[in-house]
Amino acid sequence: MKHLLSVDDLTTDQVLELFETAADMHDVQSREVKKLPALRGRTVVNMFFEDSTRTRSSFEIAGKWLSADVINVSAKGSSTSKGESLRDTVLTVCAMGVDGLVLRHPASGAALQVSQWVDASVVNAGDGTHEHPTQALLDAYTLQRRLGSLEGRHVVIVGDLTHSRVFRSNIQCLTRLGAQVTVVAPPTLMPSGIGAWSASAGFETSYDVDAVLPHADAVMMLRVQRERMTGAFFPTAREYTVGYGLTRDRLALLGPDVPICHPGPMNRGLEIAADAADAAQSLVLEQVSSGLAIRMAVLYHLLAGESQGGMA
């Protein structure tokens, strides 16, 4: 494994192996010395051209706990704001001897493009509305820890599907692990062409969240991404909440043990009510600690072995 650009690049065995490594890494979080020497002497650059709190700090801590040197570059305050192209920026940074490049970029396909330019291992930390593989891995890992196995379990994903890279990666990861997936969104936020995709990938679509929730083994709420919305996708926020938010009333439709996930950041009161976000069955904070373990596992698998790039 040289890069992690898409969940599709991974075999099912590789996904399960990452989960097993993540389970080992999980134990590190409860140790007094939270440090493993596996990536000593390796350098990881977090290059974020979009805002992020949890993904960036999660990758940063993951790298540091594995003893890698981690450097953060964000678009604000970098040479990008002076007009440097993406290619020049990554080539410049990689010329400093970087082993791993964690990239978030607003353009779909940016990570793939960058991986063709550099010797370093590239991890896609979100490219536009395309993919966010580590988020999908951590979601599936969190659910698997809670539910035992995902085989035959019914996972419902609700929210802004059009703008969600998390959902695109999640579909691949969850169906790969045998889960039945139903995605729910208002018609305006259902991606065009989803009919053909759902038929070939084997998942269901629905516009009616109240009909689907009673049959769910797990629920994933997606964030309403106002920053990507250029048109009017729904009349008012209130109307979205009434139609598709996980309100207190809808929480009652779920069994008391049905886990609730949200990739964060949450718009409390919009797509998820505080009652649901803070419910005992909410896995939101568990997702964060799982994310750290998954990202440690990913960095370990990409960077610990013999270097496959041009540098010895």
Of 224, 228, 249, which Cα lies nearest the Cα of 237? Answer: 224
Helix (H/G/I), strand (E/B), else coil: 77 = coil
Q: Answer yes or no whether residue 300 interacts with another protein by CB under 8 A.
A: yes
The residue behind tokens 């997936």 is: 181
Q: Indicate the residue type of 94.
A: C
Contacting residue, 8, 12, 24, 151, with another protein by CB under 8 A = 24
**Helix extents (H) in the chain:** 12-28, 54-65, 86-94, 110-115, 133-147, 165-176, 194-201, 209-212, 237-244, 248-251, 274-277, 284-303
Q: Which residues, 6 or more positions from 245, have their beta carbon under 8 angstroms from its beta carbon?
A: 269, 270, 271, 272, 273
* Choices 17-25, 53-61, 206-214, 226-234; region in contact with another protein by CB under 8 A: 17-25
* Choices 33-41, 83-91, 175-183, 212-220; region in contact with another protein by CB under 8 A: 33-41
Looking at the Cβ atoms of 24 and 278, the one nearer to another protein is 24
Q: Least separation, in Å, of the C-beta of 296 and another protein?
A: 10
Q: Indicate the residue type of 105.
A: H
Q: Answer yes or no whether residue 13 interacts with another protein by CB under 8 A.
A: no
Q: Answer yes or no whether residue 285 interacts with another protein by CB under 8 A.
A: no
**Per-residue binding letters, 148-187, with another protein (x by CB under 8 A):** ----------------------------------------
Q: Answer yes or no whether residue 31 interacts with another protein by CB under 8 A.
A: yes
* Choices 21-29, 128-136, 216-224, 265-273; region in contact with another protein by CB under 8 A: 21-29
Looking at the Cβ atoms of 61 and 266, the one nearer to another protein is 61
Number of neighbouring beta carbons within 10 Å of residue 269: 14
Q: Indicate the residue type of 133.
A: P
Residues interacting with another protein, by CB under 8 A? 1, 17, 20-21, 23-24, 27, 31-33, 35-38, 66, 300-301, 304-307
